[in-house]
Amino acid sequence: MARRASSSLNPLWIVVTIVLIVLAIVGGRFLFQGVSDPYRTIPALEVQMYLENSNSLRGNVYKVTATVANALAWSPLEGRLFSIEVAGSGGTEILPVLVPIQFNHLNIQKGQQFQMQIEVVEKGILKARDLRKA
Protein backbone atom coordinates (compact mmCIF):
# COMPACT_ATOMS: atom_id res chain seq x y z
CA MET A 1 0.00 0.00 0.00
CA ALA A 2 1.40 3.45 -0.99
CA ARG A 3 1.73 6.24 1.53
CA ARG A 4 0.19 9.63 0.89
CA ALA A 5 2.35 12.74 1.24
CA SER A 6 1.60 15.00 4.18
CA SER A 7 0.55 18.47 3.04
CA SER A 8 0.20 20.19 6.42
CA LEU A 9 2.17 23.37 7.16
CA ASN A 10 5.13 23.12 9.43
CA PRO A 11 4.53 25.33 12.56
CA LEU A 12 8.13 26.52 12.40
CA TRP A 13 7.53 28.15 9.01
CA ILE A 14 4.48 29.99 10.38
CA VAL A 15 6.47 31.36 13.33
CA VAL A 16 9.37 32.44 11.07
CA THR A 17 6.95 34.21 8.71
CA ILE A 18 5.27 36.11 11.56
CA VAL A 19 8.65 37.18 13.00
CA LEU A 20 9.81 38.44 9.58
CA ILE A 21 6.60 40.44 9.11
CA VAL A 22 6.94 42.05 12.55
CA LEU A 23 10.60 42.92 11.88
CA ALA A 24 9.69 44.47 8.53
CA ILE A 25 6.98 46.64 10.14
CA VAL A 26 9.26 47.80 12.98
CA GLY A 27 12.12 48.52 10.58
CA GLY A 28 9.84 50.46 8.24
CA ARG A 29 8.51 52.59 11.06
CA PHE A 30 12.03 53.33 12.34
CA LEU A 31 13.21 54.28 8.85
CA PHE A 32 10.15 56.48 8.20
CA GLN A 33 10.60 58.39 11.48
CA GLY A 34 14.26 59.05 10.73
CA VAL A 35 13.60 60.23 7.19
CA SER A 36 10.54 62.32 8.07
CA ASP A 37 12.49 64.64 10.44
CA PRO A 38 13.15 67.74 8.30
CA TYR A 39 16.00 68.85 10.58
CA ARG A 40 17.70 65.48 11.11
CA THR A 41 21.15 66.82 10.22
CA ILE A 42 20.96 69.74 12.67
CA PRO A 43 21.97 69.24 16.33
CA ALA A 44 19.35 69.72 19.03
CA LEU A 45 19.60 72.78 21.28
CA GLU A 46 21.10 71.95 24.65
CA VAL A 47 18.81 74.03 26.83
CA GLN A 48 21.00 74.03 29.95
CA MET A 49 24.02 75.20 27.96
CA TYR A 50 21.92 77.96 26.39
CA LEU A 51 20.63 79.11 29.78
CA GLU A 52 24.13 79.15 31.27
CA ASN A 53 25.76 81.19 28.51
CA SER A 54 23.70 82.01 25.45
CA ASN A 55 26.36 84.32 23.98
CA SER A 56 28.76 81.42 23.55
CA LEU A 57 26.29 79.81 21.13
CA ARG A 58 25.94 82.87 18.85
CA GLY A 59 25.90 82.07 15.16
CA ASN A 60 25.01 78.41 15.67
CA VAL A 61 21.88 76.75 14.29
CA TYR A 62 19.89 74.17 16.26
CA LYS A 63 16.63 72.26 16.08
CA VAL A 64 13.95 72.40 18.76
CA THR A 65 10.60 70.74 19.25
CA ALA A 66 8.59 73.12 21.40
CA THR A 67 5.11 74.06 22.56
CA VAL A 68 4.03 77.69 22.30
CA ALA A 69 3.42 79.03 25.81
CA ASN A 70 2.47 82.68 25.11
CA ALA A 71 2.69 85.47 22.56
CA LEU A 72 4.86 88.15 24.15
CA ALA A 73 5.24 90.96 21.62
CA TRP A 74 4.74 91.98 18.00
CA SER A 75 6.69 94.36 15.79
CA PRO A 76 5.75 95.14 12.18
CA LEU A 77 9.45 95.32 11.26
CA GLU A 78 10.94 92.42 13.25
CA GLY A 79 8.14 89.89 13.72
CA ARG A 80 6.56 88.18 16.72
CA LEU A 81 8.12 87.19 20.02
CA PHE A 82 6.85 83.99 21.65
CA SER A 83 7.70 82.08 24.79
CA ILE A 84 8.09 78.38 24.11
CA GLU A 85 8.28 75.34 26.37
CA VAL A 86 11.25 73.11 25.59
CA ALA A 87 12.09 69.83 27.28
CA GLY A 88 15.64 69.92 28.60
CA SER A 89 17.77 67.72 30.81
CA GLY A 90 16.51 69.56 33.90
CA GLY A 91 12.84 69.39 32.93
CA THR A 92 10.73 71.79 30.89
CA GLU A 93 12.18 75.25 30.38
CA ILE A 94 10.59 78.43 29.00
CA LEU A 95 12.61 80.19 26.28
CA PRO A 96 11.88 83.26 24.14
CA VAL A 97 12.01 82.90 20.36
CA LEU A 98 11.68 85.61 17.71
CA VAL A 99 9.60 84.55 14.71
CA PRO A 100 10.44 86.86 11.76
CA ILE A 101 7.78 88.52 9.60
CA GLN A 102 8.35 85.97 6.81
CA PHE A 103 6.29 83.53 8.93
CA ASN A 104 3.31 85.89 9.39
CA HIS A 105 1.25 83.56 7.21
CA LEU A 106 1.37 80.92 9.98
CA ASN A 107 -1.34 81.02 12.61
CA ILE A 108 0.73 80.41 15.74
CA GLN A 109 -1.37 79.94 18.86
CA LYS A 110 -0.83 78.99 22.48
CA GLY A 111 -0.54 75.22 23.01
CA GLN A 112 0.51 74.35 19.46
CA GLN A 113 3.62 72.22 19.01
CA PHE A 114 6.25 73.18 16.43
CA GLN A 115 9.52 71.83 15.10
CA MET A 116 11.85 74.77 14.67
CA GLN A 117 15.20 75.45 13.13
CA ILE A 118 16.56 78.28 15.28
CA GLU A 119 19.68 80.41 15.21
CA VAL A 120 21.28 82.05 18.21
CA VAL A 121 21.77 85.65 17.07
CA GLU A 122 23.27 88.72 18.74
CA LYS A 123 22.86 89.00 22.51
CA GLY A 124 21.86 85.31 22.65
CA ILE A 125 18.39 85.80 21.17
CA LEU A 126 16.78 82.76 19.54
CA LYS A 127 15.50 83.52 16.04
CA ALA A 128 13.43 81.05 14.01
CA ARG A 129 14.93 80.26 10.59
CA ASP A 130 12.23 77.72 9.73
CA LEU A 131 9.29 76.22 11.59
CA ARG A 132 6.68 73.55 10.96
CA LYS A 133 3.76 72.29 12.97
CA ALA A 134 4.61 69.02 14.65
Q: What is the pLDDT of residues 48-92, one digit of tens each?
A: 999 999 888 999 999 999 999 999 999 999 999 999 999 877 789
pLDDT at 1 over 70: no
Residue type, 87: A
How far apart are alpha carbons 101 and 77 in whole angstroms? 7
The mean pLDDT of 125-134, rounded to a whole number, is 92
More confident residue, 27 or 34: 27
Please give the pLDDT value at position 29.
Answer: 84
Given a contact cutoff of 8 angstroms between Cβ atoms, the answer to whether 89 and 23 are in contact is no
Mean pLDDT of the chain: 88
Please give the pLDDT value at position 88.
Answer: 76
Please give the pLDDT value at position 34.
Answer: 64
CB atoms within 10 A of CB 62: 20
Q: Which CB contacts under 8 angstroms, 24+ apart, belong to 91-97?
A: 93/47, 93/51, 94/69, 95/47, 95/50, 95/66, 95/126, 96/72, 96/125, 96/126, 97/66, 97/126, 97/127, 97/128
pLDDT bin (cut points 50, 70, 90) of residue 119 is very high
pTM: 0.72
